[in-house]
Amino acid sequence: MLSNKTRVWLVCSALLVLLSASPVWSQKEKAKEQKEYTGTPVLWTQPTDITTRNLLLGAGGEAMKPDIRQITFIEQKEGGYSTKYRVRDAAGNEWIAKIGKEAQPDTAANRLLWALGYETEIAYLFPALTIEGKGKFENVRLEARPKDVKRTGNWKWEENPFKGAPEFQALKIMMVMINNWDMKDENNEILASKSEGTDGTLRYIISDLGGSFGKTGGIISRSRNKPSDYVKATFIEKVKGNDIDFKYSGKNKKLFENLTTADARWLSNLLGQLSDEQIKDAFRAANYSPEEVDQLSQAFKERITELANVGK
């Protein structure tokens, strides 16, 4: 017959074993989950229809637009600068609602990247949206969370399958073109199709582009979603031989070293296919005012011209 003291000792010992083992099991389960989603990494696909792409609707087109007749709150998402809620629309589809200053630049940048063939989120901005239980908000970006898509983790700017490739070099230049100073790995996601399993496509995207269309700089001097700052900001500081020095002073500054005139030409060939109306549509999709649409699109077009003239 075990004494009470012995029973207590045995229970405590068992609990200690379980607690010490749980991190190990957690790591094993995490590794198992990551292994389930392997496949072909894709960052960019050669677009054959740049001139006809609809930048008002973006990657999801008309078919993926949320049904906003009823938006139901599910939970609040922690972390990041903006307030974010997971919500469900009237059709039963789930979205991440981003509220605040980052919603507009995030949407416009998303459209411009998608237009050039980069993998992006499926997102739409609504000038006014009511979220049941939370209230009515202005300029809410809804980002799709399809049931058949698995978010498998982050990819790194300094370590990825595309390092040195023309499309990756051009992506970095695009970050300077839109003045995205928030260049951290946590903003990058790898998406996998659950139906494709282990032999499918791994889509490398920049999920958060909210720190754009202001000016780069330090904690105090940088800005987001400030067209007046974006219009005045310097894009290219100087060209030395085949190397370009871009005006950038945000996070991860070293990423913008060793960008060349060849990289600029590669991107310029894509950007040059966009019409003035398509560029304006990227900003219209983000609900900028007509005056801001003109300011932002003109500044962006000037950067396209600047890029095209590099090395001439």
- Round to whole Å and give the CA distance between 135 and 69: 14
pLDDT in tens, 255-269: 999 999 999 999 999
Asked whether residue 13 is domain-assigned, the answer is: no
Residue 33's pLDDT band, with cuts at 50, 70 and 90, is very low
For residue 297, which amino acid is it?
S
User: Rounded to the nearest 5°, which phi and psi values hold at 211?
Assistant: -85, 40
Mean pLDDT confidence for 132-148: 96
Interior angle at CA 303, CA 300 and CA 308, nearest 5: 130
- Range name among 15-24, 111-120, 197-206, 208-217 with the lowest pLDDT average: 15-24
* Pair of tokens at residue 209: 């582009």
How many domains does the chain divide into? Answer: 1
Would you call 276 helix, strand, or coil by DSSP? helix
| pLDDT tens figures, 150-203 | 999 999 999 999 999 999 999 999 999 999 999 999 999 999 988 776 668 999
Q: Are strands 200-206 and 39-42 parallel, antiparallel or unpaired?
A: parallel
Domain span at 137: 39-308
SS3 130: strand
Q: Which helix (H) or strand (E) holds 264?
A: helix 261-271
Query: In the numeric block, which tokens belong to residue 306?
Result: 């600047």
Neighbours of 162 (CB within 10 A): 16
Residue 7 maps to a domain: no
User: Rounded to two decimals, what is the model's pTM?
Assistant: 0.87
Structure-block tokens of residue 5: 């003291």
Task: Tell me what percent of the residues of the chain surpass a pLDDT of 90.
Answer: 77
Predicted local confidence at residue 12, as pLDDT: 52
**Phi then psi for 123, rounded to 5 degrees?**
-145, 150
End-to-end CA distance of the chain: 93
Residue 44 lies in a domain: yes
In a domain, 32, yes or no: no
